[in-house]
């Protein structure tokens, strides 16, 4: 977890712990299936067990952690079926959000996306998987947030949170990083041309390629 935590402390200890834990899980620092050592974590974050327990309950409700009786909390693991279901739901919700964004044509959207895409390509070229995953998420949510439907955005955010650790696995392969860059460029081209259907098509391919790659990671574990 980040060192300069004091500068980012929210108003309450529970919010602080929640943000730090969520970040550690979605970045892959805490890997799927890893146990959450509450005593060590509380000491590291300099908080009591009370806000930590409350944060873990919130993350359990979000599906990011699971609790096993007599064993404690663990970072949630996804089955292949879980992953495919989440990506299918994402496709349905994101198509609605992105179609709405394209119809609204908000000022400055393409320019904002181009700036984030520069970060995506810089990270991809450097082989920085963490930075690539973070920039990729900013690219997608710049597009999704512009739909003007906050409830829909919150639902999509929860789905992304539950698979972020797996998404980082996807970007460890240089070919996958190249594919993602190409697909983002396709989205940008279609946005400039106000071609909403092909924006959706590019994003469908983008998700499908990620699922296909992650299937090879998860399927052997289920044999």
Q: What percent of the chain has pLDDT over 70?
A: 92
More confident residue, 142 or 168: 142
For 50, the token pair is 């009370």
Q: Could you list the beta-strand ranges (E) of the chain.
A: 65-68, 72-75
Determine contact, residues 74/33, Cβ cutoff 8 Å: yes
pLDDT-based confidence at 13, cuts 50/70/90? Answer: confident
| Four-residue CA torsion sign, 222, 57, 8, 150 | positive
Distinct helix (H) and strand (E) counts, the chain? 9, 2
pLDDT, tens digit, 9 for 90 and up, residues 105-130 = 999 999 999 999 999 999 999 999 88
The correct CATH number of 80-222 out of 3.40.50.410, 1.20.58.410, 1.10.540.10, 1.20.120.530 is: 1.20.120.530
pTM: 0.75
Q: Do domains 6-75 and 80-222 have the same CATH topology?
A: no
Find out if CATH 1.10.10.10 is the number for domain 6-75: yes
Q: For strand 72-75 and strand 65-68, is the pairing parallel, antiparallel, or unpaired?
A: antiparallel
Closest CA to 114 of 191, 203, 171, 204: 191
Residues of 156-169 as b/e, b for ≥16 C-beta within 10 angstroms? beebbbbbbbbbbb
Instruction: Write down the domain spans for the chain.
Output: 6-75, 80-222
């Amino acid at each position: 977890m980040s060192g300069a935590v004091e500068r980012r402390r929210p108003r309450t200890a529970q919010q602080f712990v929640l943000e730090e834990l969520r970040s550690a899980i979605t970045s892959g620092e805490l890997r799927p299936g890893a146990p959450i050592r509450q005593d060590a974590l509380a000491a590291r974050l300099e908080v009591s067990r009370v806000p930590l327990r409350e944060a873990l309950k919130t993350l359990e409700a979000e599906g990011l952690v699971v609790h096993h009786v007599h064993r404690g909390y663990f970072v949630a693991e996804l089955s292949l079926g879980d992953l495919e279901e989440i990506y299918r739901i994402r496709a349905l919700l994101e198509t609605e959000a992105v179609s709405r964004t394209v119809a609204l044509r908000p000022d400055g959207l393409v320019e904002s996306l181009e700036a984030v895409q520069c970060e995506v390509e810089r990270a991809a070229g450097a082989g920085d998987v963490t930075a690539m995953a973070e920039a990729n998420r900013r690219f997608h949510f710049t597009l999704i947030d512009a739909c003007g439907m906050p409830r829909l955005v919150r639902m999509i955010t929860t789905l992304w949170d539950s698979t972020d650790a797996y998404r980082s696995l996807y970007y460890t392969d240089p070919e996958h990083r190249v594919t993602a860059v190409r697909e983002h460029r396709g989205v940008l081209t279609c946005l400039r041309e106000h071609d909403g259907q092909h924006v959706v098509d590019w994003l469908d391919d983008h998700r499908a390629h990620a699922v296909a790659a992650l299937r090879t990671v998860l399927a052997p574990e289920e044999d």
